[in-house]
Structure 1
Amino acid sequence: MNHPSVEAGIENPGQQNVTLTDYLRIIYRGRWIVLFSFLVVFTGTVYYTFTTDPVYDATTTLIIDKSNAMENALFDFNSFGNQSTHISNQIEIIKSRTIAERVIKRMELSNVRDSLSLFHPNDDGEYLTLREMAQIIRENMEVINKKETDIIEITYSAPSAFEAAYTVNAIAQEYADASVEFNQGELKDLRKFLEEQLRKKGQELTSSEELLRDYQERERVASLDEETSELITRLSAVEAELEQSQVMLQASLEMKNSLEKQLDERRETVSSELSEISTPYIQTLQEELARIVAEKTKYETAVASQATGVNSDYFNAQIAEYDSKIKSLKQRLEEEAKKLSTSSMVQDPFQLTQELVSRIINLDAEIKANTAKINTLQEVINTYNAQLESLPVKVLELARLKRRQMVDEQTYMLMTKRLEETKIQEAGQRKEVRVVDEAIEPLFPTKPKKKLNLALGVVLGIGLGIGITFLREYFDNSIKTQEELEQLGFNILATIPKIEMSKVEEKLEARLAKMGPMEGKRIEARLITHLDPKSPVSEAYRSLRTNIQFSRVDQKIKAVLVTSSGPKEGKSTTSANLAIAMAQSGKRVVLIDADLRRPVVHSIFGMDKDEGLTNYMMDDIDYDTMIKKSIMDNLYVIPSGVLPPNPSEMLESEKMKKLLERLRNDFDFVLFDTPPIIAVTDAAILGTIVDGAILVVKAGQTNYDALVRAKSLLDAVNTRILGALLNGVEVGGMYGSYYYYYYHHYYSKPGGKKKRRY
């Protein structure tokens, strides 16, 4: 309730301390809204829950073992990466369009194709395209990585348990196959290259050995001296390293070509974008890496040429420093490669493309590093060759043949080792992706969650109803409780429960049946004080009678008017029942219908209004004719009479004052039923000549501001306000239920069952 303070001296109701009881009253008043909201929401929830097609979820679990992933047989690609990035890449690969399309193709070849919903026609008889089916698979798939593990869970949602399990297992299998194909493609090319190089190197080794043997036999030269042998050994080692670097360079070039072919297959625009797979900063890092590798090679060969005087600790420290710089540069290259591979120029729905781009960038770095190393080694070899030129001709030729044989032998052994490593890695590629748990058909659907949905329907339905109730209460400016009246400064004369007209009409019919014909007289069911004197409503009117009698201890109350701020607030019903309650106490009471615009008192008591107050004021009838005897003892009624053109002037006349004085003398209590005070001034006029006024307030209807206005109008003419009557209070609601319970409990038959509810 949103009641602003409008008058000095009146406490702002918005500042009252709100209790739990107040909230319960609000909810009770809005109980039909809450019930309607609950029924609508809950019915909708039930309909949705039991008509929605079920959805089943199936999950398969994979483990990504990067330690078994492809590592280049000649150098380590993975030294540039890290595990978290690798797992993230794998998740994106699983969710890619390419994997989804591979799954669709697998399904098309399976014997369960017709049982899968993806291959069913829609309502128009049309079938989904490959792209549409792939999109559905991607939308219904969820891939997550278990925190701080290499475990990946793939979950798929489908309209049947079988389809969910079958599809998610197909996704896992196609991903594993794609991973093997991708890695084996590189290793296969590398293996073929090494096999060809090893065949050639074997032929070269055989040839160099034969040439050395033939020369020694022909020239009768057995061996070299110690100094020359040492020089040849060092030179052979450098040349072997040179050939190894040349093989690595050639392998890098072959690998790069292989990766570019794979990239070309995955990207239609590769020809225009391959040239952009670099940045100035990446090129700078690659050149710096090549420079450091060259420096390290030059330092190692320089130290190796010194037979003695080498400090091993210093040498190891220098090598460690070079290795640290190389590692740092590779890490920075990896970061830049990752940025470039995820930039707009190389974006692709299939995340393998990003990994291809990253590897190509890393290969470029290796190519530049090996090129720099080869150039450095060639310079060292040239230096050694210059030293050999001083040897005798026969010794020099023997040294060259011996050196060639040693280089070929060392290179052949190294390449044999590398080839075997490559074969092992190629054979073990499938171990990178392993299925931990295959998906099985779920027993129950995951959607809709019937129990949860129904519980939410109850909570949301009631919650929405309560929310609407409180929202309505906030914007509702009507008076609802006697506490609100008290905060406006009113004395509460009574709280009248809402009359249940159906029950009163039943009692009326029963009483009329007992009384028989009543000479044309008729009464209305709203006279509950007469028809059902033991009801809580009748008792409330008797309480009103008592409170009026004792409202002024310094003055006897004999003339009272009843008014309200607006129409249809129960003013006339209150006047009639109050008059009956007064008459039942033994007082002679006269009820005057002073509402000369819309009179209703005559109809309540079953009388004609033609001869009444206005007729007397115009001298058409005498005093005795004006006053009508009702069917109740001690109660008399003065109907309104004919409707005059000037009711306010008539009520303000001197004759009206004299009439009231005469009525005071003839009756114990005079009661005026007047029109609403805000609409016309009639009530304010009569307020100047009566002993007090009663304001009738209809619970939930009388506007707060209108009531304040009505009070101010009466105060303006110095009308003594005896108090307010709160009318139409719900019997089952809080205050009304308390009152009703205690009254009904008191009037229950002795020994009978005490009813706590009416």
Structure 2
Amino acid sequence: MSDQKRYPDNLPPEVTFRQLPARQAHDSGAVIYPEIDLPRYGEAEDFHLRMLWRIVRKRRWLIIGIASIITTLVTIDVFRTKPLYEATTTIEIGRDNGARINSNGLFIQEEDYLNVTMNTSEVILKSLPLLEDVVVQLRLDQNPAFLASQKKSVWESLHEIAGKIQRDDASAPPAVFTATAMKSKIEGNRSPEEVERLAPYVGMLEESLRVRPILDTRAMTLTFKHTDPVIAAGVANAIAQRFVETSFDKKIEKFTSASEWLDRSTRELKSKIERSEQALADYTKTNNIYSTDGKATLVAEKLSRLHDLATRAETDRILKESLYEQVRQGRVAQIPEAFADTKTVELQRKLGELATTAAELSVTYGPKYPKMAEINQQMAAIRDQIAAGRVQLEEKLKADYERVVRDENALKAALEEAKAGAAQENQRAIQYSLLKQDVDTAKSLYTEFLQKTNQAYLEVAQQQSNIRIISPARVPKEPVSPNRQRTILIGLLLSLSGGIGLAWLLERFDDSIRSVDDVNRYTQLPALAVIPVIGANKSLLNGRRRKDNTPELLALGSGDKASAIMQRARLMEFDGRSPASEAYRALRTALLLSAAGNPPKTILVTSVRMEEGKTTTATNTAIALAQLGASVLLIDCDMRNPSVHDVFGTSRTLGLSTYLVRNVEIDELTQDLPGENLRMISSGPIPPNPAELLSSERMKRLLAQLSERYDHIVLDSPPLASVTDAVILSTMVNGVILVVHGGRNSRQAVQRACHELSAVGARIFGIVLNNVDLRREGHDDYYYYSYQYSYSADAKRTKT
């Protein structure tokens, strides 16, 4: 058959594989399968208590293991948790007198609302500043027992559990490491660094503190939990006491603030009077102030004289600066004669006369006249003298200008100094008057503030606290949590539920064939037998280590792999009273009764995949049939991976492949096996084309010929999923036994194998469910019956 052929994944329950028809198209050799309505694989099954109980029994060790592990972990974790002690303080919040408001001469009392008061008190009790005060007051930041770990080590918890189991009284009371709380002075405002350092301890207080008002009363309970009972009681009382103090301080805050401010102001006024009087005396002494008469005239006269001189110096400086600028810019001719140089003026006049003479001579005699050169030389000399005079004049004016500037600056400085002296004289007189006035004002305020301070102190003394502690917390004797028994019981129940749920989920996802119900439900074929798991070598000798053990059987106790395979394949021969042997006898009975009055002669044994036990089933079936006295022939048709010859320790030099390839007599290939009525034909040498040999006419004639000689012929063939050899052989035999390894093959694979056989017209006797754990897969009754029946009969025979 071609590997490209496709088969449906599953079949509906009403389709029987042994009756499934197949037809062949007229124009091709392809087999056309009937169209059937296939249900979707994995449809939900009815879930009922019986099925759940079967799942629980099947996977009981998984459920017990999960429950044991989880319960053990929960127990250890519960015992790791240190017991918590709870201390409770009860406080009363009385009615506050409230503030009195003066309205038109009438004093009105403010109303006190109970809900608002209780809620406000709860907020204050849980406020961070109050809890910080408690931490500092009790020095909890220095107490290692306060922030101790809430968990014990695993070793400590195991030791405690062992003590509980052994009922050791010494281990019963919990270990409490108490460090006595010592009170410390509470400071004012804290720095951000200090607040950050106290944050873990405040968080611990806030997490473990619970405040709850008592209904219809003005009382509330303050509860604190901790692993140390002494710390629990101490913290509860400290928080309550600090709340009382804080509330009273808040109540008298307005009075104390006023009295403190008045007291502080009074002391400041007194100090101010003393400072003012001392300042007045020091000022009078320092400035030699006896009388200010006559001094103002001298200062004013000096100031007037200096002002006149400074004005004149400024005018002279402006004049000198103007002359200096004209000379520096070359405008010497524009300088007034009073300030000009007489020599320079004379040279200018002479230069003008020579210029006039030179012009006349140039007009009369021409420019080349000899006397013109002389006149030009004289004019050049005069110009040089004029230039030199201009430089001298500029330097002179510059020196005069700088001198005038210095004189002006000196006079202005003297004028400013005189002005400062006059102002200082006036300031001294004014300052003296101010100091005198400060002394008089300070004395008046001091007298008034001293009276107000005495009145404020009287108001503070009249105030009373409206909060009191009704019942302080006492050191608890018994812990309040954890409830270990309840937690362990819940863990056990949850773990059992989880284990059952996991088992059910695994069962739902498991699509393998595991039980007779699975065989009937998904293949619509009978389960011919359920072969239990065959144990190791020693288990195969169950009930036979007595005098009737044969030397051959005792020699197989070496335990190697070949011996184990031989023992399983020849179980009916070596251990006929085991549960597996009884299962093979049940298979033999089912085969003989598969056809009324006409037991099958040729039986094909195959499987879906390799390593499912088809060879073991074939050999034990052949031995079981031979034990009834019928002549049985076992043929190894697996010419790809033969193993029957290994089971019986024979050779495969000559075998089935030899007969199909060469012209030999069948008697030359038949080998006698231990026991009566049982013979075997090995596979022979492995040929290159097993499928072609098996589908030949010679193979059909061989089976027909052997059917006349033997009562039963058992054929061991290759698996269906690998090659088509089994499908070819299934058309030549009376029926097929399909061996399915319990829990290994999926439902689709088994269904495809059955459909593959039925499609070619093969008759399927049924399915042998092999290698099944009877206790695990829900066959407890069958296992118990087989086991008890076999060994009860053996015991009776031994007793007889």
Please confirm whether the aligned pair reaches a TM-score higher than 0.5, indicating the same fold. Answer: yes
Shift of residue 179, structure 1, vs aligned partner: 2.2
- Match of 1:561, SS state, is strand
Are residues 1:482 and 2:516 paired?
A: yes
Cα distance in 1 for residues equivalent to 2:668 and 2:793:
48
What is the CA-CA distance between 1:430 and the residue it aligns to? 2.5
> How far apart in 2 are the matches of 1:632 and 1:508?
21
In 2, the alpha carbon distance for the partners of 1:653 and 1:86 equals 106
Matching residue of 1:495: 530
Q: CA deviation at 1:710?
A: 0.6
Q: Does 1:504 align with 2:532?
A: no
The 1:532–1:69 alpha-carbon spacing in structure 2 relative to 1, beyond 3 Å, is farther
Give CA-to-partner distance per residue, 1:350-376, whole Å, 9 cap, x none.
xxxxxxxxxxxxxxxxxxxxxxxxxxx
Q: Which residue is equivalent to 2:714?
A: 671
Residue 371 of structure 1 aligns with which residue?
Answer: none
- The residue identity in structure 2 corresponding to 1:73 is R
Aligned mate of 1:426, from 463, 477, 483 = 463
Distance 1:77 1:622 in 2: 132
Contact 1:13 1:484 in 2 (8 A): no
Alpha carbons of structure 1 residues 14 and 633: separation in structure 2 relative to 1, 3 Å: farther
Q: Secondary structure at the match of 2:715?
A: strand
Name 1:680's counterpart in structure 2. 723
Residues 25-53 of structure 1: CA deviation (Å, up to 9, x unaligned): 32333334334423432343344344x35
Alignment of 1:221-260 (within 5 A): none
Code of the aligned partner of 1:483: D
Corresponding position of 2:265: none
Q: Which amino acid aligns with 2:534?
A: I
Letter in 1 for 2:577: K
Report the CA distance shift for 1:103/1:558 in structure 2 as closer, same or farther (over 3 A). Answer: same
In 2, the alpha carbon distance for the partners of 1:673 and 1:113 equals 85
Q: Is the 8 A contact 1:688 1:719 kept in 2?
A: yes
Count residues in correspondence.
512
Q: Which amino acid aligns with 1:91?
A: E
Q: Decide whether the 8 Å contact of 2:519 with 2:767 is kept in 1.
A: yes
1:157 and 2:225 correspond: yes
Alpha carbons 1:184, 1:429 under 8 Å: kept: no
Which residue is equivalent to 1:134?
202
Query: Are the aligned partners of 1:582 and 1:589 in contact in 2 as well (CA < 8 Å)?
Result: yes
Contact residue 252 and residue 463 of structure 2 kept, 8 A: yes
| TM-fit CA distance, 1:186 | 4.7
**TM-score using structure 2 length:** 0.57
Letter in 2 for 1:524: M
Shift in alpha-carbon separation, 1:508–1:737, aligned structure 2, 3 A: closer
Shift of 1:716: 1.0
1:60 aligned residue: 88
Sort the Cα spacing of 1:190 and 1:25 in 2 relative to 1 into closer, same or farther, 3 A: same
The answer for the alignment partner of 2:481 in structure 1 is 446
Matched to 1:738, the amino acid is: D
Structure 1 residue 665, shift from structure 2 partner: 1.1
More helix by share: 1
Other structure's SS at 1:609 match:
coil
Deviation readout 1:388-429 (Å, 9 max, x if unpaired)? xxxxxxxxxxxxxxxxxxxxxxxxxxxxxxx9xx99993242
**Cα distance change of structure 1 residues 660 and 106 upon mapping to structure 2, 3 Å threshold:** same
* Distance in 2, Cα, partners of 1:707 & 1:580: 27
Deviation at 1:555, TM superposition (A): 4.7
After TM superposition, give the deviation of residue 456 of structure 1 in Å: 3.9
Separation of aligned partners in 2, 1:727 and 1:517: 26
Matched, 1:616 2:659: yes
1:168 has 2:199 as partner? no
Change (3 A) 1:516 1:41: same
Q: 1:477 to 1:151 in 2, by over 3 A?
A: farther
Out of 492, 500, 515, the position equivalent to 1:458 is 492
Report the 3-state secondary structure (helix = DSSP H, G, I; strand = E; otherwise coil) of the residue aligned with 2:566: coil
Using the alignment, how far apart are the partners of 1:119 and 1:700 within structure 2?
54
Please name the residue that 2:566 is paired with.
Answer: 524
Q: Tell me the distance in 1 between the aligned counterparts of 2:540 and 2:793.
A: 27
TM-fit CA distance, 1:517: 5.8
One-letter amino acid of the structure 1 residue matched with residue 518 of structure 2? E
Show the counterpart of 1:333. none
Shift of residue 154, structure 1, vs aligned partner:
3.3
State the distance in 1 between where 2:572 and 2:85 align: 69
Q: How far is the alpha carbon of 1:686 from its aligned partner?
A: 0.5
- Counterpart of 1:250 in structure 2 is none
Report the counterpart of residue 473 of structure 1 in structure 2. 507
Q: RMSD of the TM alignment (CA)?
A: 3.8
Equivalent pair of 2:85/2:478 in contact (CA under 8 Å)? no
Compared CA separation, residues 45 and 77, structure 1 to 2 (3 A): farther
Q: Aligned in 2, Cα 1:618/1:105: closer, same or farther, shift over 3 Å?
A: same
Question: Contact 1:59 / 1:153 at 8 angstroms: preserved in 2?
Answer: no
CA contact (8 A) 1:549 1:557 kept: yes
Q: Deviations over 1:143-198 (max 9, x none)?
A: 344566655443333332222222222222222322222233357679999xxxxx
Aligned to 2:182: none
State the AA in 1 paired with 2:517.
E
Distance 2:794 2:725 in 1: 52
Structure 2: distance between partners of 1:7 and 1:584: 39
Structure 2 CA distance for partners of 1:517 and 1:732, relative to 1, 3 Å: closer
- How far apart are the structure 1 equivalents of 2:555 and 2:705? 30
Summarize deviations over 1:530-553 as a string: whole Å, max 9, x none: 222222221111111111111122
- Cα contact 2:532–2:580 (8 A) shared by 1: yes
Provide the rounded CA distance (Å) in 1 between the counterparts of 2:684 and 2:109.
111
Q: Is the 8 A contact 1:70 1:183 kept in 2?
A: no
Q: 2:695 aligns with which of 631, 652, 655?
A: 652
Q: Kindly, what percent of the aligned residue pairs are identical?
A: 29
Distance 2:553 2:567 in 1: 16
Which deviates more, 542-551 or 15-24?
A: 15-24
755, 764, 786: which is aligned to 1:712?
Answer: 755
User: Of residues 90, 94, 103 in structure 1, which corresponds to 2:125?
Assistant: 94
Larger radius of gyration: 2
> Matched residues in 1 for 2:586 and 2:549: separation?
29
Q: Give the deviation of 1:114 after TM superposition.
A: 4.4
Counterpart of 2:685 (choices 603, 620, 642) is 642
Q: Which runs of structure 2 are paired with 1:28-427 in the superposition (5 Å)?
A: 28-50=57-79, 52=80, 54-65=82-93, 67-74=94-101, 79=111, 82-108=113-139, 114=143, 116-118=145-147, 129-145=197-213, 151-186=219-254, 426-427=463-464
Q: Distance in 2 between matches of 1:748 and 1:599?
A: 35
Once the 2 structures are TM-superposed, how far is the Cα of residue 492 of structure 1 from its aligned partner?
1.9
1:575 aligns with 2:575: no
**Is residue 183–residue 429 contact of structure 1 (8 Å, CA) maintained in 2?**
no
Contact 2:553 2:574 in 1 (8 A): no
Does the 8 Å contact 1:611/1:621 carry over to 2? no
Name the CA shift for 1:751/1:441 in 2 (closer, same or farther; >3 Å). same
**3-state SS of paired residue (2:567):** coil
Q: Structure 2 counterpart of 1:131, which letter? A: A
Q: Rate the CA distance shift 1:118–1:692 in 2: closer, same or farther, 3 A.
A: closer
What aligned pairs does 1:583-602 form with structure 2 within 5 A after superposition? 583-602=626-645
Amino acid at match of 1:462: L
The Cα offsets for residues 197-246 of structure 1, whole Å up to 9 and x where unpaired, read as xxxxxxxxxxxxxxxxxxxxxxxxxxxxxxxxxxxxxxxxxxxxxxxxxx
Secondary structure of the corresponding residue to residue 129 of structure 1? helix
What's the offset of the Cα at 1:703? 0.5
Structure 1 contact 480–700 (Cα < 8 Å) conserved: yes
Q: Which amino acid aligns with 2:519?
A: L
Report the Cα distance in structure 2 between the residues aligned to 1:618 and 1:147, rounded to whole angstroms.
105
Deviation at 1:605, TM superposition (A): 2.4
| Structure 1: gaps of 5 or more residues | 121-126, 194-418, 754-758
C-alpha offsets along residues 76-120 of structure 1, whole Å, 9 cap, x if unaligned?
Answer: 7864x7544443333232222112101112112x9x964643499
Report what 2:607 is aligned to: 564
Letter in 1 for 2:633: V
Matches of 2:242 and 2:675 in 1, distance apart?
98
Give the equivalent residue in structure 2 for 1:348.
none
The DSSP-based 3-state class of the residue aligned with 1:426 is: coil
